[in-house]
Amino acid sequence: MQLLLALLLLAAGQVFATPLQSTYKGLVLNANLIEPKHSPDAMPTDRIFLLLHGTWGHNQMEIMSGLQDSLAAAGQTSVAINLSLGQNDRQGFLSCDAPIIANHAEAAAEIDHWVHFLALRWPHIVLVGHSRGGNQVMLYNQQFGSADVEALVLLAPMTWNQASATQDYTDKYQVNLNEVLDKARQDPQKMFIADVLHCPQASVSASSLLSYYGHQPNRNTPDLLANTMLRTLVFEGTEDPLAKEFEPQTEKFAANKHVTVRWIQGSDHFFRDLYLDDVVEQTLQWLHQ
């Protein structure tokens, strides 16, 4: 459905797709800009949606391209970015074969870089983050923030519980996570072989592993939602097994009038096909409230 929509839009000349590049700390960063084609007498829009992928993903993965298609069909401009994850000119998913130096928290500074880059042309930015990207968008808002960012939209944002993560690591890899973390803390700058996220026995920097598994409450998005002062819309899918970790924590931010939660009936973690259209429609309605 989303692919067909994209082809029809491009064939009709209704959107402009433009690859973007920017340089950050000596690394080339990539993004994909999609602008709808407006009639000559239409007022140009001053809003752009900045989209961030989930764990070690990229800007062309299904949920990102689907979001851009749906936004374009609704007349909205968007840019989907690739986090560098410590690599120059990164494309596609991060490979388990390359030395892993990615750092969860460092995404906030790259988001800030893109916000300043885009704000030169679009003074109203809506940040959209999926899964881990939803947490990283919240980290950006906590650590940097900008008057150019008018709202946050989180799609199935990640949750984190240290005890659960430790048990999951042991169940998956038959290794005691605490022992691995102790080894990493001895020298955060060194590279060593360890199991990390979906990569077994990868070459990973100790600081990278600590960023994903060390004790850090800020990886639990509901805790961050409790204190945000920026309008924030959260989407969860009723068929997403990860949502069971989010739902019990809604009481943490129930008193925060800036946060709205919407449940998409029937959707899984990736809001495939028509569920993305529903997300975009509800988002635009919410922004105009």
Helix (H, G, I), strand (E, B) or coil at 197: coil
How confident is the model over 79-106, as pLDDT tens digits? Answer: 999 999 999 999 999 999 989 999 999 9
**And the tokens for 220?**
């639990």
Comma-separated ranges of CATH 3.40.50.1820 domains in the chain: 2-160+217-287
User: Is there a contact between 59 and 89 (Cβ–Cβ < 8 Å)?
Assistant: no
Inform me whether the pLDDT recorded for 203 exceeds 60: yes
Q: Calculate the alpha carbon distances from 225 to 110, 134, 250, 257, 281 in Å.
A: 21, 11, 9, 10, 23
The sign one gets for the Cα dihedral 138, 141, 144, 150 is positive
233 bridge partner residues: 153, 260
Q: How is domain 2-160+217-287 classified at the CATH fold level?
A: Rossmann fold (3.40.50)
Give the confidence band of 15 by pLDDT, cuts at 50, 70, 90.
confident
